[in-house]
A and B are shown apart, each in its own frame.
Chain A
Amino acid sequence: MNAPLETVEISLTVNGERVKRSVPARLNLADFLRNELELTGTHVGCEHGVCGACTVRVDGEIVRGCLMFAAQAEGCTVDTIEGLSDSREIEELQSAFVLTNALQCGFCTPGVLMAAQALLRDEPDPSRERIREYLSGNYCRCTGYQAIVDAIEAVAKARAGRRGR
Chain B
Amino acid sequence: MSEFDEAAKTLNFDSPNSYVGRSVTRPNARRLAQGRGQFVDDIVLPRMLHVAYARSPHAHAKIVRIETKKAAAMPGVVRVVAGAEIAMVVKPYVGVLTHLQGMRSPPQYPLAMEVARWQGEPVVAVVAQSRAEAEDAAEAVEVEYGELPAALDAERALDPSEPKIHKEFDSNLCFQRTVDTGGVDAAMNSAHLVVEDTIRFGRHTGVTMEPRAILADYNRAEESMTVYHCGQSPHMMQGIIASRLSLDEHRVRVVARDVGGSFGIKIHTYGDEIAACALSLMLGRPVKFAADRYESFLSDIHARDHRVKARLAVDREGNMLALEIDDLTGIGPYSMFPRSSGVECNQVLNLTGGPYKHKEYRAKGTVVFQNKNMMCQYRAVGHPIAVAVAEHMVDQAAAALRLDPAEMRKKNLIADDAYPCKSPSGMRFEALSHHQCLDKLLTLMKYGELRKEQNELRKKGVYRGIGLSSFIEVTNPSPMFYGVGGARIAAQDGCTIKLDASGAIVAATGVTEQGQGTETIMAQIAATALGVEMSCVKVLTGDTDKVPYGGGTWASRAAGIGGEAVLQAGLALKANILQAGAVILKTNASDLDIVDGRVVKKGTEQGITLAELARICYYRGNELPADFQPELVVTRHYRVKDYAFVFSNGAQGCSLEVDTDTGFVKLLKMWCVDDCGRVINPKLVEEQARGGIVQGIGGALYEQCIYDDRGQLLNATMADYLVPMAAEMPDIECAHVETPTKTSMLGAKGAGEAGTGGAPAAIMNAVNDALRPLGAKVTSQPIAPEVVLRALGKVN
Cβ-based interface call for B1 (8 A): no
Contacts of A26 in B (CB 8 A): 132
**Measured CA separation A135–B725 after assembly (Å):** 8
A43 near B260 (CB under 8 angstroms)?
yes
Contacts of B44 in A (CB 8 A): 38
A109 near B726 (CB under 8 angstroms)?
no
Interface residues of A in 19-48 (CB under 8 A from B): 24, 26-27, 34, 38-48
**Measured CA separation A45–B132 after assembly (Å):** 16
| Interface bits A115-129 vs B (CB < 8 Å: 1, else 0) | 000000000000011
Cβ-based interface call for B259 (8 A): yes
- B contacts with A: majority SS: loop
A105 near B515 (CB under 8 angstroms)?
yes
Contacts of B75 in A (CB 8 A): 5
Cβ-based interface call for B99 (8 A): no
Closest to A31 in B: B132
**Measured CA separation A145–B724 after assembly (Å):** 9
Closest to B755 in A: A144
Q: Looking at the complex, which one of B37, B42, B209 makes contact with A141 (CB distance below 8 Å)?
A: B209
A43 near B39 (CB under 8 angstroms)?
yes
Kindly specify which of B463-471, B531-539, B687-695 makes contact with the partner chain: B687-695
Q: Looking at the complex, which one of B35, B209, B695, B717 makes contact with A105 (CB distance below 8 Å)?
A: B209
Contacts of A131 in B (CB 8 A): 726
**Measured CA separation A113–B208 after assembly (Å):** 19
- A contacts with B: majority SS: loop
**With A85-B34, A105-B261 known to touch, is A149 a contact of B726 (CB < 8 Å)?**
yes
Contacts of A99 in B (CB 8 A): 25
Interface residues of A in 79-94 (CB under 8 A from B): 80-82, 85, 94
Cβ-based interface call for B220 (8 A): no
**With A40-B35, A99-B25, A135-B726 known to touch, is A106 a contact of B717 (CB < 8 Å)?**
no
**Measured CA separation A146–B697 after assembly (Å):** 14
Cβ-based interface call for B727 (8 A): yes
A107 near B39 (CB under 8 angstroms)?
yes
A50 near B29 (CB under 8 angstroms)?
no
**With A94-B30, A109-B33 known to touch, is A101 a contact of B718 (CB < 8 Å)?**
no
B29 near A103 (CB under 8 angstroms)?
yes
A142 near B691 (CB under 8 angstroms)?
yes
A145 near B726 (CB under 8 angstroms)?
yes
**Measured CA separation A48–B694 after assembly (Å):** 23
| Interface bits B130-172 vs A (CB < 8 Å: 1, else 0) | 0010000000000000000000000000000000000000000
The winner among A47, A143, A145 for most chain B CB atoms within 10 A is A145
Cβ-based interface call for A158 (8 A): no
Closest to B296 in A: A46
B37 near A144 (CB under 8 angstroms)?
no
Q: How far is the CB of B736 from chain A (nearest CB, A)?
A: 16
Contacts of B31 in A (CB 8 A): 106
Q: How far is the CB of B26 from chain A (nearest CB, A)?
A: 7
Contacts of B691 in A (CB 8 A): 104, 141-144
Contacts of B260 in A (CB 8 A): 43, 105-107
B32 near A145 (CB under 8 angstroms)?
no
Cβ-based interface call for A17 (8 A): no
B516 near A144 (CB under 8 angstroms)?
no
| Interface bits A51-92 vs B (CB < 8 Å: 1, else 0) | 101000000000000000000000000001110010000000
**Measured CA separation A148–B726 after assembly (Å):** 9
What size tier do the contact residues of chain A reach? 35 or more
Q: Looking at the complex, which one of A34, A106, A128 makes contact with B37 (CB distance below 8 Å)?
A: A106
Interface residues of B in 710-731 (CB under 8 A from A): 717-719, 723-727, 729, 731
**Measured CA separation A101–B694 after assembly (Å):** 16
**With A141-B263, A146-B732 known to touch, is A104 a contact of B687 (CB < 8 Å)?**
yes
Closest to A27 in B: B132
Cβ-based interface call for B207 (8 A): yes
A82 near B35 (CB under 8 angstroms)?
yes
B210 near A45 (CB under 8 angstroms)?
yes
The winner among B30, B34, B132, B207 for most chain A CB atoms within 10 A is B34
Closest to B27 in A: A98
B723 near A141 (CB under 8 angstroms)?
yes
Q: How far is the CB of B682 from chain A (nearest CB, A)?
A: 11
**Measured CA separation A118–B675 after assembly (Å):** 39
Q: How far is the CB of B22 from chain A (nearest CB, A)?
A: 13
Cβ-based interface call for A140 (8 A): yes
Q: How far is the CB of B708 from chain A (nearest CB, A)?
A: 21
Closest to A135 in B: B726
B695 near A141 (CB under 8 angstroms)?
yes
Interface residues of B in 478-497 (CB under 8 A from A): none
Given contact pairs A40-B39, A141-B208, A141-B695, enumerate 17 new A-B contacts (beta carbons under 8 Å).
A40-B42, A43-B209, A46-B293, A51-B209, A80-B35, A82-B34, A94-B33, A103-B515, A104-B515, A105-B209, A129-B727, A131-B726, A135-B726, A141-B691, A144-B691, A144-B695, A148-B726
Q: Can you list 12 A-B pairs with a CB-CB distance of less than 8 A?
A: A42-B35, A46-B293, A47-B292, A48-B293, A106-B31, A107-B209, A133-B727, A141-B209, A143-B691, A145-B729, A146-B690, A149-B726
Residues of B near any A CB (own CB < 8 A) = 25-26, 29-39, 41-42, 44, 75, 132, 206-211, 258-263, 292-293, 514-517, 683-684, 687, 690-695, 717-719, 723-727, 729, 731-732
